[in-house]
Amino acid sequence: MQEVDVLVVGGGPAGLSASRAAARSGASVICVERKPKIGTDVRCAEGIGLAFLEALPFKMPENILQWHVNGIVFWNGNEPLKRTGGLWEGCVIDRQKLEIWLGQQATASGAKIWTDAQLQKLKLEGEEVSAATVNWKGKEITVKPGKVIAADGVNSTVLQEMGHYEKRPLSLAKVTSWEMTGLTLEWPRFEQVLIDDLALGGYGYIFPKSPTRANVGVGSCVLDEVDALFEQFVELPFIKKQVKQGRRVKNKSKEAPFLGVSEKWAFGNVLLAGDSANQNLKPFIEGIIPGIIAGDIAGELAASEPEVKEQEYRKRVEAAVPGWKESQQLTGAIKTLFAKRAPSKQFLQLVLAAGE
């Protein structure tokens, strides 16, 4: 039996950030991650907006910022529409390096990170988690936590164990994504995004990592159609001419929250952080930076407050994540599009107008 102030479930961006913050605030912290190593099997397109970096609770090391992009080329039918600077300027990061670095930060702050450690069961007293069963390298260990931070992603075991995992229409999106090499990118310093009928209210993308390497994908809430939509995307003439010599080297596909599986961000002594709480920016479901920021706030609150205060947590996250309010408004527009399965040209215009 292990007693700990804060048990963090999940060692992705949100969980590692939460572990770092809770340990820095003086709590004893155990972070359990089911993968054998932090930073492995990254499932992400790795794009971030440069403007959001300033909102992070730390300075991101330069070597994580792998490939700078000057803006986004939106495909409007066959017509490319270029946006540069400001919110359009970004970076495709090396997420493996980010997670390894964040893990080192958490450990240096005093958190213990257990890898190959899967949360299996929770013992509940009402809404309070009194004990957690973790399978750590094949051994069953019981952890008695003061607080729990559920940073275990879109299909959160914590939420499932607590009976708060709720699948509704549009709860989840699926992103079929491949890291590809051998590409002939038309604009290596631009991300490319296609929002139209093909993605059925979702989008297709090319996020470059070098002139010949990129994450290429399609995301949509029509879960069982996304793989087929990806194959259609790479056959579009203006995409095909860039990817036809390419090789798919890493499968980076995964589900992502759209409306999310929980509307609440806290239950009993549990705070949710990252994808488990649907903390991402729409329309592109950018969750890396919001997850890190929310993890940081959750970690600090879990370590310093005797009770979990959901409203305070929500307020602080909403204030700290740039564009949060506007992003929530876009969710409404996307819902309407899905409801009608309407052509999404107006949506494209809305997104582009938002950049003016």
> Which chain residues interact with ligand FAD by CB under 6 A?
9-15, 32-35, 43-48, 118-119, 151-153, 157, 175, 177, 217, 252-254, 256, 274-275, 280, 285-288, 291
Chain residue whose CB lies nearest ligand FAD: 287
DSSP E strands in the chain: the ranges are: 2-9, 29-33, 47-49, 67-69, 71-76, 79-84, 90-92, 112-115, 117-125, 128-136, 139-150, 172-181, 190-194, 203-208, 214-220, 247-251, 254-257, 266-267, 270-272
Q: At closest approach, how far in Å is the CB of 317 from ligand FAD?
A: 13
- For ligand FAD, which is the closer residue by CB, 135 or 306? 135
Q: At closest approach, how far in Å is the CB of 25 from ligand FAD?
A: 19
Residues 96/40, Cβ–Cβ less than 8 Å: yes
Query: Cα–Cα distance between 120 and 135 in angstroms, integer?
Result: 7
**Which tokens sit at 336?**
């309407």
- For ligand FAD, which is the closer residue by CB, 9 or 65? 9
- For ligand FAD, which is the closer residue by CB, 34 or 316? 34
Q: At closest approach, how far in Å is the CB of 301 from ligand FAD?
A: 17
Q: At closest approach, how far in Å is the CB of 306 from ligand FAD?
A: 25
Query: Cα–Cα distance between 1 and 234 in angstroms, integer?
Result: 52
- For ligand FAD, which is the closer residue by CB, 77 or 131? 131
Residues 29/19, Cβ–Cβ less than 8 Å: yes
- For ligand FAD, which is the closer residue by CB, 24 or 252? 252
- For ligand FAD, which is the closer residue by CB, 35 or 97? 35
Q: At closest approach, how far in Å is the CB of 32 from ligand FAD?
A: 5
The values of phi and psi at residue 91, to 5°, are -155, 140
Query: Cα–Cα distance between 175 and 229 in angstroms, integer?
Result: 10
Q: At closest approach, how far in Å is the CB of 340 from ligand FAD?
A: 25
